[in-house]
Amino acid sequence: MRLEELGEFGLIKQIAALIGEPSSAVRVGIGDDAAVLKLAGDGHLLVTTDVFVEDVHFRRQWLTPAQIGARAAGAALSDIAAMGGEPIAIFVSAGWPPSLEAETATELMAGLARVAGEYGTALAGGDTAASPGGIFIDVVVIGTAGQPWLRSTVQPGDVLLISGSLGEAAAALALLQDGKVANAAALSPALQERFTNPIPRLSVAKALAEGGAVTAAIDISDGLVQDAGHLAESSRVAITIEADRVPISPRCRPAAQQLGADPLQWALTSGEEYELLLTVAPALVQQAAELVADKGGITLTPIGRVSEGEGVVVVDESGEPLELSTEGWNHFSPSPPTHCL
């Protein structure tokens, strides 16, 4: 079977099955936003890797080299936020076409290093190789966490919360894919900022981690419904998302109108939004929202609930299930998915 038939998650399952038991230092291996290692002493070490491939995850016609680096750093740091952790060092392995202008490589790395610095961490190493194809970069972030947030610890009865709002990254991507704008510089300032400089929700995570209310978490990198599905599958619970409570950014509405697109569909399926999807016990929802509002004015919105069972369902205001045209994206799908760059 070819990979485009098996799909990304099919391959990951086959690889995970091959591997057997991790060593005693590995508390959480494949299947979360980051791996969790337990070393001597208090706390846990987090390790996450994110690979970005030219013409799969980014296009050089749309983004400057510095923007490509900044997006990659933001996305990788978001995985540390999704574990309730803090980053301590970033490593980048890259493949570059030999004919590439050296300036392109250094600008990309400088964009990445700038974002690392903004979140209190630094580039600490990596590797460099020639690539006969396009550019690729693998961003490795090492972080720490007291009690890491897993995907597998959602409890029936929990409330599902999301940070910020969804749809801006989807709007930017749709405008680019449709040819309505030639590159990211031609987007409106708000969409451009969101698209070229995604914010890993590390300050939200830090505030919540200190409060101790979160039972489980993931970041929105595959799409809300699909990422909720990862939580449901890992925790063996059912998740209901109430569509009318999903916070859609008003800034994505003009693009939706221009393109005849449904902003709700964007909010439910857009990856690369990098908001946090969290579960919290009902009694602690108010406390969690206040902790986050105090730190930077980000809103936490309850958008659903957890029950015994399995799977994810999205319901309208009368409680009827909605049909979705797609649940997210598959890295090996033969045609470009809706939120692949």
Q: Does residue 110 interact with a copy of itself by CB under 8 A?
A: yes
CB contact at 8 A, 209 and 84: yes
Out of 98, 189, 260, 297, the residue judged to bind a copy of itself by CB under 8 A:
98
| Piece in contact with a copy of itself (CB under 8 A), picked from 22-30, 233-241, 253-261, 304-312 | 22-30
Q: Does residue 261 interact with a copy of itself by CB under 8 A?
A: no
Give kind and range of the element (H or E) at residue 289.
Answer: helix 285-294
Tokens 């590390």 found at: 202
Q: What is the nearest approach in angstroms of a copy of itself to the Cβ of residue 140? A: 5
Q: What is the nearest approach in angstroms of a copy of itself to the Cβ of residue 281? A: 28
Residues 4-13 as b/e (b if ≥16 CB within 10 A, e otherwise) read eeeeebeeee
In sequence order, the 6+-apart residues with CB closer than 8 A to the CB of 77 are: 87, 90, 115, 116, 119, 121, 141, 200, 202
Q: Does residue 206 interact with a copy of itself by CB under 8 A?
A: no
| Piece in contact with a copy of itself (CB under 8 A), picked from 60-68, 90-98, 273-281, 292-300 | 90-98
Positions 123 through 182 that interact with a copy of itself (CB under 8 A): 123-134, 136, 138, 140, 142, 144
Query: From CA 99, how far away is CA 54, in angstroms rounded?
Result: 15
Closer to a copy of itself at the Cβ: 99 or 325? Answer: 99
CB atoms within 10 A of CB 256: 19
User: How big is the site for a copy of itself, counted in residues (CB under 8 A)?
Assistant: 87
What phi and psi values does residue 115 have, to the nearest 5 degrees? -65, -40
CA dist 65 → 104, 135, 191 (Å): 6, 11, 18
Q: What is the nearest approach in angstroms of a copy of itself to the Cβ of residue 150? A: 13
CA–centroid distance for 149 within its chain: 15
Positions 35 through 64 that interact with a copy of itself (CB under 8 A): 35, 37, 39-43, 45, 47-57
Closer to a copy of itself at the Cβ: 315 or 332? Answer: 332
